[in-house]
Structure formats: structure tokens, C-alpha cells
Structure 1
Amino acid sequence: MATTQPAATDSEPQEPSYAPTDRTVPTRARERAAYDHALVHAILDESYVCHLGFVRDGAPVVLPTLYGRVDDRLYVHGSTGSRPARMAGAADDGRAEPGLPVCLTVTHVDGLVLARSAFHHSINYRSVVVHGTAHQVTDPKEKSTALDAIMDHIVPGRAADSRRANAKELAATAVLRLDLREVSAKTRTGGPNDEPEDMDLPYWSGVVPLRKGYDTLIPSADLAPGIEVPGYLSGL
């Protein structure tokens, strides 16, 4: 059963949520699923790479790629010659309208869960799954907004602190748009779920936390003298 949201009150407005569908309600551990915008957006905004799944010539394909979010819309970066870009911008494969049916996923691994039994080993994680139809962005203004969002998704502030793409580079770059409509998040937290009869077994159990961090910056070997590290990078 999908997660039940508490009733809204005048003093505590209800968090906007995506409507669960047959594709976004998991068949296992349904209590770990959530549909509120804030959680979904937070998971998406913290990652750098998504995996884009689609069907090509009757076989599944999953590609890692960069992305950025603007409100309730994701933008995925690629080459104009890539198969996803060409499929998303044309009506083929029996489809009446342009667009490519896709499934996009993002996952964070937060901890390794070690149980007393092999069966109950797991991971703590946060994930988002998005179903929908990706379309190639052709409007120049929207494409510029999308590329800026992808740049700033890598490091906030970077889009304004780099040379903008020229006409040749823009012609070689494709951007796919995917609206966040059919979306779910799924998370696991806490320790292992050992069986009561296993509690006295002589094996260590618990969680090995994982964390993301940034190391010391490595400047380009050909960086011109006098160029200081910008504040948005030193702040990392």
C-alpha cells in the first residue's frame, strides 16, 4: 500500500505529492515508498549522475548521464548523434508523436547493513524512479536554461563562471526534457532486521556508514597565474 499522507490542516499545509501509479508503487517494501515533492527533489538534487533506461531495437538499454532539475522538470545532457536524442526527437518505432518512453533512476548508498544472517544483509539508500516520455529540447531559450541548470547541478554558480557554448557546440549538444509526473522515492534507514533466533549468533552486525565528500582541489597544469579559486568552489 502506498504511503498515506496526513490530512492537511490550516496550521500545517499538506506537502505536495506525486500521485502513485501502478508503475510507481513497489511490489516489495511498499512502506519505504514516498511521493512528496520535497523528498524527491532533495534526492535528485544531491546526485550528479542518473541512469536513463529505454528500449532500442526491442532490447533494454541503460545509460549513465548528467542531468539538471528546473522545478518539476529534468533535463538530460547528450550528443545530438546519440540514439536517445534521435529517438526522442522523431516519431518512429510505430509512435504517432515524437518522444521516447524512458525510465530514469537516481540512487544514493548511505550505508552497508551487515546482519547476522546472509539473507538479511542490505544497504541503506535513497532512490528516485521517474517514468515518462522524454522529448528533445529545440527552443533556444529553454535549451540555454537547461544547459545552465546542468552546469549548476554539478557545482552551483559554475554556469556564470565559464564560457558559454558557441553555435558549433550547441549544434553538437542535445538536451532531453522529462517532466516529473510519474515519480516515486524509496528509502531504507536503520540497522539490520535480524531474526529473533539469530540474536545470540557470534557475528558482528550493524551499519557501515558511507559519506560523500570533496578532496583538495587540483588546478589545471596550464592554469594562468593569478586566477584564484572562486568562492563557490572554496566553499565546498
Structure 2
Amino acid sequence: MRQTLTETLKTDRSRLRRAHEKGAYDRDSLDAVLDAMPMCHIGYQIDGKPSVLPTLQWREGDHIYWHGSSASRALRAMEGADVCMTITLLDGYVLARSAFHHSVNHRSAMIFGRAEKVTDTDVKKAHLKTMVDMIFPGRWDSLRPMQDQEVKATTVLRMPITEGAAKLRSGPPVDDEDDYALPIWAGVVPVSLQVHAPEPDPANQPGLAMPDHLSRIRIG
């Protein structure tokens, strides 16, 4: 049975010190951010110096996964090490009546943990299939089967969701009480990501129809 976020993820490191009202410590809030945005950034150390890797992530149950080349120096440095993953969605610019109170509506998550390497070939291949079908629903079965050498050339890392927090802001600006009487326009400019119509590869075979599953591609 899955524990609640307040039991497992809220730690002295993950709790918000400022604007604590924006913090969410339940798994539903955290999972909603993870599932809505596949792009993430992973902080780690390489040769004792900080670095950040932008990559794709996907969640399966109580673990979060990412992948890359088996030759990747970054992934080799992450394996067995403590890392910090962040995911952010920008939902709007918040325009207040003073520069001080301008803000952004957003959903974000920060997760701390130790990266584990998936070593079993069949299990690794199953996770890669899950990634493809989560981002491109129905596409895996239409592709050329993945070759053993391709599986070997791919590293899959995972991290248990055991420490972290979501940070959320929505709604209109919050101004100083006296400023509401000022004749200054305030409000929110919504921001969103959008999936556009597919653009075919010029190298496609002549007359090749676009597959139906492309209509199901979405962000998150």
C-alpha cells in the first residue's frame, strides 16, 4: 500500500522554508506534476563539481525513470549517487500593481534520492516500452523491434519517490492592500505548451499515410 507524501517525502531538506503555503506534501499533487511534464532537469556531481542534465522522465508507480546512452558520462556519475530532479510547468505570468508582487503561476516538483541502474535486459526493455507508449501512445508496436545491441547501448536509471515536494501557485496577483485603489491594470497572462500538427520526414516513403496514433500524442 502506498504511503502518503506527508509520511514519506516531507523532510527537513524538502520542506519549503518560504512561501510554505505553496508547498504540497501529498502524492497526488506530486504525481500530477510528474505526469504532466516529461521534461526534467537532474542535478548531480561529476568529478566533485555540480552539473545539471536536461532529459525526459516518466513515472511508474512509486519510482521515477530516465534513460540515456550507456556511454554517457553523466549517467555513469549518477549511478548509485544522490541526485535531485526538478520538473516545472509555467502556467502564467502574474502582473501585479507593483513590480515587487509580480509572479508566475506554475506547478513544480523537486525529488531527492539515489539513482539506481536497471540491469536486467528484459526489465529494461519493458521500461523503455512504457516510456515510448506514455509519450507516444500506441507507437511502440508499430516500430521495428528493438535490437539487443540497442538495449545494451541504453542505460535506464530509476529513483524511488521517497523525499521531495511539489510547489504550486495559481490565481490572480496578491497586492498590498493600499495598491488595489491604484488605476493600474493587473491580472494573469496564461501560458501553455501546445502539440502542433505532425510534420512528415522528407525521407518517408511516397504516399505513406500518417498513423492514427499520432493524433493521441500529448504533453504528459
Q: Would you say same fold, with TM above 0.5? A: yes
Aligned residue for 2:92? 111
Say whether 1:73 aligns with 2:63: yes
The structure in which a higher percent of residues are helix is 2
Aligned residue for 2:165? 184
State the secondary structure of the residue aligned to 2:128: helix
State the secondary structure of the residue aligned to 2:115: strand
CA distance in 2, matches of 1:164, 1:104: 31
Say whether 1:218 aligns with 2:199: yes
Task: Give 2:64's aligned amino acid.
Answer: L
Q: Deviations over 1:174-221 (max 9, x none)?
A: 111111111211100111111112223332210001122221221111
Q: Please, which of 63, 78, 97 is the counterpart of residue 53 of structure 2?
A: 63
C-alpha spacing 1:165/1:235, structure 2 compared with 1 (3 Å): closer
Question: For 1:7-86, what aligned pairs fall within 5 Å after superposition?
Answer: 16-18=4-6, 19=8, 20-86=10-76
Calculate percent identity across the aligned residue pairs.
43
Aligned residue for 2:208? 227
CA contact (8 A) 2:44 2:78 kept: no
How far did 1:73 drift? 0.9
TM-score by length of 2: 0.89
CA contact (8 A) 1:109 1:125 kept: yes
Q: Deviations over 1:45-67 (max 9, x none)?
A: 11121100012222211110012
CA distance in 1, matches of 2:216, 2:50: 41
Task: Give 1:52's aligned amino acid.
Answer: I
Unpaired runs of 5+ in structure 2? none
Question: For 1:112-131, what aligned pairs fall within 5 Å after superposition?
Answer: 112-131=93-112
TM-score by length of 1: 0.83
How far did 1:163 drift? 2.1
How far did 1:169 drift? 1.8
CA distance in 2, matches of 1:31, 1:17: 16
State the secondary structure of the residue aligned to 2:52: strand
Runs of 4+ in 1 over 6 A off after TM superposition: none
Aligned residue for 1:96? none
Residues matched between the structures, number? 214
How far did 1:226 drift? 4.5
CA distance in 1, matches of 2:142, 2:58: 17
Unpaired runs of 5+ in structure 1? 1-14, 90-98
State the secondary structure of the residue aligned to 2:33: helix
Say whether 1:145 aligns with 2:135: no
Say whether 1:168 aligns with 2:158: no
State the secondary structure of the residue aligned to 2:199: coil
- 26-35 or 197-206, larger mean C-alpha shift: 197-206
Q: Deviations over 1:81-107 (max 9, x none)?
A: 222322244xxxxxxxxx011000100
Aligned residue for 2:183? 202
How far did 1:116 drift? 0.9
- 25-34 or 102-111, larger mean C-alpha shift: 25-34
The one of the two structures with greater contact order (alpha-carbon pairs below 8 A, sep at least 6) is 2
CA distance in 2, matches of 1:160, 1:169: 16
Q: Deviations over 1:121-145 (max 9, x none)?
A: 1000001111000012111122112
